[in-house]
Amino acid sequence: MKVISVGALLLAISSTAFAGNPTSVDDVVARDLSISGLGWAGHVGIWDGSKVLEVLNDGTVIRKNTLSSFKSASSYWGAKYGRGTRHGEIIEAGWAQRSFDPEYTITAQYTEGKWVYKNGSFVKVKAKFRCDTFVNYSYKKITGENLVTIFTPRNLYNSFPSAR
């Protein structure tokens, strides 16, 4: 029994110790959710080449944070890649949503921020995202396809075929 416990411990340590860092624009990074008991659900963001573009439920909803800040918030899972080819455009699509007064949501239903013509004038539709729907939106806006059919940060992260 001790051998199994030691083996499991070594596996857990090695997967965290060797979790790769992002190296290319639009790599998806992930970590545990910073809520006690819900870490397994995860949190995801997109690497823009120097910072992590992410959605958080405090203050500025869509923001860029350093990789060290992202990693230090909770247990880091690593970086994945392999979906989409228009890397810079994916980042731009996500970052542009800041202009639409984004709000955080806990549901898997997101709203793209945009201008709509209504009753003779243009009206701003507020953006609404959580971390996984934001990453999905950024990719879908450019590729035309959802990354996953069941939205969770873990599912989204696992939908990428290659790890760094």
Kindly report the pTM of this predicted structure: 0.86
Position 17 scores a pLDDT of 53
The pLDDT assigned to 7 comes to 43
Residues in the chain, pLDDT under 50: 1-16
Contact between 60 and 69 under an 8 Å Cβ cutoff? The reply is: no
Tell me the residue type at 98.
R
Within the chain, what is the greatest distance between any pair of CA atoms? Answer: 72
| Domain ranges across the chain | 21-163
Spatial separation of the C-alpha atoms in residues 156 and 151, rounded to whole Å:
7
Question: How far apart, in Å, are the Cα atoms of 65 and each of 53, 60, 112, 114, 149?
Answer: 7, 11, 22, 24, 28
Q: Tell me how far apart the alpha carbons of residues 94 and 161 are, in angstroms, rounded to a whole number.
A: 21
pLDDT of residue 19: 81
pLDDT of residue 125: 98
CATH fold of 21-163: endopeptidase fold (from Nostoc punctiforme) (3.90.1720)
